[in-house]
């Protein structure tokens, strides 16, 4: 894709100092996309503001993964009426997955949004906003097979200045039967590795100490000769002081080669997010996950073989189509067998347009879904707590991310396994690596002291 820099054009920047506010919902990918959007809008002369009350343009970066995510955004759109009243001419735009899913309906509906831009249309945003400023509506929901925003340097909005996300690919080709992502984010494509390494290197130069490489299925990354294990090696070679993480892995593509590379580089974090979704092979088949329970457990065994101190985390769905009590029990037993450090746990939410919506009835009653989800959550709390208790007495290298929320004299950081540790500040500050011995824990947090 060709892109001309503004510096080559004579036209004045269309943003001309107008203020932009972006609100982000959903996954880490959306957080990264918002940073690309701000970069693209700044090139046009818009200025980012953190105060929504000052904004001339409000963009809402949206999520469609479950119905409750969309409901929240509808609620937020209703509130936009207040800002519109306070500021005539205000432009309100919906970007991201909900824009892709609902398209023109968003400009027509009761909320009359001014701009609608899908995940592959962000380069067009300045034009779409201009159209809205001129009193029209700006809509672009074209999906691309190539767009990766490869050369755009995202504007970091996170502000901890230590850890950043770097998108390495977009879209998804897996078509899990419950999932709307392949429809809202389009086909999978990998970003040029040189731009990824350059971005990570520049983050490191700016004081960042951790990058998380992001994609829906990072294990299928492929750009020319470079596959995911090789990309990890390239990024982790930037400096031993740069921690590298990644999300998310699809179990079907988790290769031994990746585990070998991880084992050979200590700055690649000992944490793998490996969404299981269910512990029953029959269910995995209905979900179109393309692996069995045994295959999944085999991958976990391989992780333990190569990386004995690696944390394994997961995503689980309760109450997908046709889920029997036995299948639910299989999920609980999988959880016990793996002993997850952490899990994201969801109640199945039917999404229009997916294979499941067309062919697999949403037939588990809501109270059954809720009960199963609470059982899953209760078990995970136990497993998480047990894992934290096992860490008491052990030593970890902690990367400091910030001051503790509760006590200014304490710092908070993460272990390589991605667990939060709180400890006395001593002479340290944000961005430091500190060796810490764990002295105690709650189910969610480790407490420790510096080893001097």
- Contact pattern for ligand 5AD over residues 31 through 70, marking x by CB under 6 A: ----------------------------------xx----
Minimum gap (Å) between residue 230 Cβ and ligand 5AD: 25
Q: Choose the binding region for ligand SF4 from 178-186, 298-306, 328-336, 359-367 (rule: CB under 6 A).
A: 178-186
Distance from C-alpha of 102 to C-alpha of 70, rounded to nearest angstrom: 11
Minimum gap (Å) between residue 354 Cβ and ligand SF4: 9
Q: Which helix (H) or strand (E) holds 224?
A: none
**Plot region of 408 (φ>0 → left; ψ -120 to 50 → alpha; else → beta):** alpha
The alpha carbon of 91 is separated from its chain's Cα centroid by a whole number of angstroms, namely 27
If contact means CB under 5 to 8 A according to the sort of partner, which of ligand SF4, ligand 5AD, none does residue 351 touch? ligand 5AD
By CB under 6 A, name the one of 66, 209, 243, 250 that touches ligand SF4: 250
Do 194 and 243 form a contact (C-beta atoms < 8 A)? no
Length of the chain in terms of residues written: 452
Minimum gap (Å) between residue 176 Cβ and ligand SF4: 3
Minimum gap (Å) between residue 275 Cβ and ligand 5AD: 4
- CB nearer to ligand 5AD: pick between 171 and 275: 275
By CB under 6 A, name the one of 29, 58, 98, 176 that touches ligand SF4: 176
If contact means CB under 5 to 8 A according to the sort of partner, which of ligand SF4, ligand 5AD, none does residue 175 touch? ligand SF4
Distance from C-alpha of 125 to C-alpha of 93, rounded to nearest angstrom: 10
Cα angle, residue 321 at apex, residues 379 and 376 outer, rounded to 5°? 5
- CB nearer to ligand SF4: pick between 73 and 356: 356
Do 277 and 243 form a contact (C-beta atoms < 8 A)? no
- Contact pattern for ligand SF4 over residues 186 through 205, marking x by CB under 6 A: --------------------
- CB nearer to ligand 5AD: pick between 66 and 191: 66
User: With contacts defined by CB under 6 A, how many residues of the chain interact with ligand SF4?
Assistant: 10
Is residue 184 involved in binding ligand SF4 (CB under 6 A)? Answer: no
Partner residues linked to 211 by β-bridges: 164, 244
DSSP notation for 132-190: HHTTS-EEE----SS---TT--------SSSEEEEE-EE------TT--HHHHT-S-EE
Tokens for 292, please give them. 């069995």
Cα angle, residue 246 at apex, residues 418 and 151 outer, rounded to 5°? 130
By CB under 6 A, name the one of 349, 387, 415, 417 that touches ligand 5AD: 349
By CB under 6 A, name the one of 216, 278, 313, 314 that touches ligand SF4: 216
Distance from C-alpha of 273 to C-alpha of 253, rounded to nearest angstrom: 13
- CB nearer to ligand 5AD: pick between 296 and 396: 296
Residues 158-217 that bind ligand 5AD (CB under 6 A): 178-179
DSSP notation for 360-385: S---S-HHHHHHHHHHHHHHHHHHHH
Cα angle, residue 171 at apex, residues 223 and 352 outer, rounded to 5°? 160
Residues 251-290 that bind ligand 5AD (CB under 6 A): 275, 277
Output phi, psi for 423, to 5 deg: -155, 165
Binding site for ligand 5AD (CB under 6 A): 65-66, 178-179, 275, 277, 315, 317, 346, 348-349, 351
């Amino acid at each position: 894709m060709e892109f001309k820099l503004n510096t080559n054009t004579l036209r004045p920047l269309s943003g001309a100092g107008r203020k932009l506010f972006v609100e982000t919902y959903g996954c880490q990918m959306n957080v990264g996309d918002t940073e690309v959007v701000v970069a693209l809008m700044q090139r046009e002369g818009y200025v980012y503001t953190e105060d929504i009350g000052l904004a001339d343009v409000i963009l809402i970066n949206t999520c469609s993964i479950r119905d409750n995510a969309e409901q929240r955004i509808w609620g937020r759109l209703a509130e936009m009426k207040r800002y519109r009243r306070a500021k005539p001419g205000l432009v309100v735009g919906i970007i991201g997955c909900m824009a892709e899913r609902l398209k023109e309906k968003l400009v027509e509906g009761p909320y009359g949004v001014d701009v609608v831009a899908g995940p592959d249309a962000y380069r067009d945003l300045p034009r779409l906003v201009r159209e809205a400023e001129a009193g029209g509506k700006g809509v672009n929901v074209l999906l691309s097979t190539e767009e990766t925003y490869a050369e755009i340097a995202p504007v970091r909005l996170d502000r901890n200045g230590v850890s950043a996300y770097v998108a390495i690919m977009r879209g998804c080709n897996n078509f899990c039967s419950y999932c709307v992502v392949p429809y809202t984010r389009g086909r999978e494509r990998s970003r040029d590795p040189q731009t990824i390494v350059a971005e990570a290197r520049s983050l490191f130069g700016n004081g960042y100490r951790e990058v998380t490489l992001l994609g829906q299925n990072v294990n299928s990354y492929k750009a020319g000769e470079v596959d995911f294990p090789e990309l990890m090696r390239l990024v982790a070679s930037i400096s031993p002081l740069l921690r590298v993480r990644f999300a998310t892995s699809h179990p079907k593509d988790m290769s031994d080669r990746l585990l070998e590379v991880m084992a050979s580089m200590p700055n690649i974090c000992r944490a793998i997010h490996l969404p299981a979704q269910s512990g029953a092979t029959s269910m995995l088949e209905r979900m179109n996950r393309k692996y069995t329970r045994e295959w999944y457990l085999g991958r976990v065994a391989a992780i333990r073989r190569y990386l004995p101190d690696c944390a394994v985390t997961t995503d689980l769905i309760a109450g997908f189509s046709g889920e029997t009590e036995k299948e639910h029990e299989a999920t609980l037993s999988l959880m016990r067998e793996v002993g997850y450090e952490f899990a994201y746990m969801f109640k199945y939410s039917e999404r229009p347009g997916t294979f499941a919506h067309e062919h697999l009835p949403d037939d588990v009653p809501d109270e059954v879904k809720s009960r199963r989800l609470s059982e899953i959550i209760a078990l995970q709390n136990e497993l998480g707590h047990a894992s934290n208790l096992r860490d008491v007495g052990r030593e970890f290298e902690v990367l400091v991310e910030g001051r503790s929320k509760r006590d200014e004299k304490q710092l908070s950081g993460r272990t390589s396994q991605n667990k939060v540790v709180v400890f006395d500040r001593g002479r340290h500050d944000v961005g430091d690596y500190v060796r810490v011995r764990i002295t105690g824990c709650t189910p969610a947090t480790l407490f420790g002291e510096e080893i001097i």
